[in-house]
Amino acid sequence: MEVKTHIAIVSVPVYSHLRSILEFCKRLVHLHHDIHVTCINPTFGSPCNNTKALFDSLPLTLNQMFLPPVNMEDLPHDIHPAIQVQVIISRSLPLIYDALKALHASSRLAAIISDGLITQVLPFGKELNVLSYSYFPSTAMLLSLCLYSSMLDKRISCEYRDIVEPIEIPGCIPIHGTDLPDPLQDRSGAAYKQFLEGNERFYLADGILVNNFFEMEEGTIRALQQEEEKGIPSVYAIGPFVQEESCKEGSNDIKYLRWLDKQQCNSVLYVSFGSGGTLSQEQIEELAWGLELSGQKFLWVLRPPNKFGIIADIGARHEDPFEFLPDGRLRGCFMSIPRNLLCHCGWNSTLEAVVHGIPLIAWPLFAEQKMNAVLLTDDLKVALRPKVNENGIVEREEITGIIRNLMVGEEGKEIRQRMKNLKDVADDALKDDGSSTVTLTQLALKWKSLS
């Protein structure tokens, strides 16, 4: 009888993170049929339709365990989504530990792999005497910042945003303090303290799996790997993992695809800010006019404005987005479709653009997206980034100019060629003898040896 290697995955209830870690799971069991995966999912409330679709798309070889929903009734209704997630994680930890302990008792676990947002799970592996890994659904650049954040905290005394010179992060392109992730913009805040504490727990990991391929961030990954003797966990570049979506006949998406089929290659700009990103009312109007004035064809995934700049997976208002556009002929100039991708520099969207060879306009909103924009524009040079005014708004003239530059300008041609080259390298990384596939196979063999 075949002995299967059992791996436990611990997710977090954030749509973008779920997409990434579940695609990793699918890739793992596709390459290694003798590995059995159980995904432990903390829950709260009812999942949104997009989340339901994610789980419905999983192969039967992936076992799902949904934990009882945690009680959130004591929290304010207008709490920031990031705080909401942290509360869910904290209150789910006892349930996660009990689930892992039961799985290990019934079917000896070879490894536990938890999302990078829930580093509190890493000590559970030590308690159960099981290898414990962190799945990092973002860049090696952000990982380097996380691993060296305590060092920066001791070296720099002022707010990062007030530093004039770019900040040096080991193995990375220098970055301005204003482009560091949201928790680092206020060092006196609770989010900053939680950021440091979470990063310290990364050092408990037996390894960190990064959703990228070696060739895209070679300098950063090499720098981290060279520091393993100094206590840095082993870093494994095993991506890119992206979700391949298809349209069903009769769905609203079909008519947009038919329209796209009639357009010339590279003639349409797709505007989207990911699974939950939103803009202010003022910025929506500027973007709308900038798109029209550019004279280029476009598809825009438009959502109502939100004070946090992000719509949580639940509780989002279902409003008509056309209500938030300027009056006039603009209403007939674009189509709105319920899909993700491009522009906001979320890592899932960025990798989808790379895998499909699509050049970018980098318009970061929150979290680590400004860091991603720096990587794309200043390091890889496969994107253009619009300038914001003193009020944090990208004005219509700036939008018009950067769209034309990307789509019909000489700089856009160069960016398109560099992105095509990056796409080819990404394709190679996922081949049987590619860097990511070889790295994942080496890990899988290690886990199988423990069964």
**Domains of the chain, with CATH numbers?**
5-239+432-448 (3.40.50.2000), 253-425 (3.40.50.2000)
Q: What is the pLDDT of residue 52?
A: 82
% of the chain residues with pLDDT over 70: 89
CA-to-CA distance for 355 and 420, rounded, in angstroms?
Answer: 9
Burial zone of 281 (CB within 10 Å; 0-12 exposed, 13-18 middle, 19+ buried): exposed
pLDDT at residue 4 above 90? no
Q: Which residue has the tokens 């099981």?
A: 130
Q: Is 397 helix (H, G, I), strand (E, B) or coil?
A: helix
Active-site positions read 17, 115
Residue 317 pLDDT exceeds 50: no
In this prediction, residues 224-237 reach a mean pLDDT of 90
Average pLDDT over the chain reads 88
- Among residues 388, 419, 364, 441, the alpha carbon closest in space to that of 138 is found at 364
pLDDT at residue 328 greater than cutoff 50: no
Question: pLDDT (tens digit, 9 = 90+) per residue, 347-394?
Answer: 999 999 999 999 999 999 989 999 999 999 999 999 999 999 999 999
Task: Give the pLDDT score at 320.
Answer: 61
Q: What is the pLDDT of residue 80?
A: 82
**What is the CB neighbour count within 10 angstroms for residue 154?**
8
Residue 181, amino acid: P
Which DSSP symbol is given to 167? Answer: B
* 35-41/383-384 β-pairing: unpaired
Taking the CA atoms of 174, 354, 283 and 310 in sequence, report the sign of the dihedral they define: negative
Judged by phi (left if over 0) then psi (alpha if -120 to 50, else beta), residue 226 lies in alpha
For 148, 157, 175, 183, the CA distances from 188, given in Å and listed in that order, are: 19, 12, 21, 10
- Residue 41: phi and psi, rounded to 5, are -120, 110
Preceding amide of 13 cis, omega within 30: no
Is 50 exceeded by the pLDDT of residue 410? yes
* 250 has a pLDDT exceeding 60: no
Nearest to 18 by CA among 59, 46, 45, 53: 53
The pLDDT of residue 48: 72
Do residues 423 and 83 touch, judged by C-beta distance below 8 A? no
For the chain, what percent of residues have pLDDT higher than 90?
69
pLDDT confidence of 22, banded at 50, 70, 90? very high
- Exposed (0-12), middle (13-18) or buried (19+): which is 268, by Cβ within 10 Å? middle
pLDDT in tens, 42-89: 998 777 777 888 888 888 889 999 999 998 889 888 788 888 899 999
> How far apart are alpha carbons 260 and 258 in whole angstroms?
5
CA distance 63 to 61: 6
How would residue 297 be classed by pLDDT, with cut points 50, 70 and 90? Answer: confident
| pLDDT value of residue 329 | 43
pLDDT of residue 268: 86
Do 18 and 51 form a contact (C-beta atoms < 8 A)? Answer: yes
Report the residue count for the chain: 451
Give the per-residue pLDDT at 352. 92
**276 or 138: whose pLDDT is higher?**
138
- pLDDT the model gives residue 334: 43
Q: Are 224 and 143 in contact (CB under 8 A)?
A: yes
What are 9's strand-pairing partners? 39, 113
Nearest-Å Rg of the Cα atoms of the chain is 22
For residue 314, give the nearest of 281, 275, 369 by alpha carbon.
275
Q: What is the average pLDDT across 136-147? A: 98
Task: Compare 281 and 103 and report the one with higher pLDDT.
Answer: 103
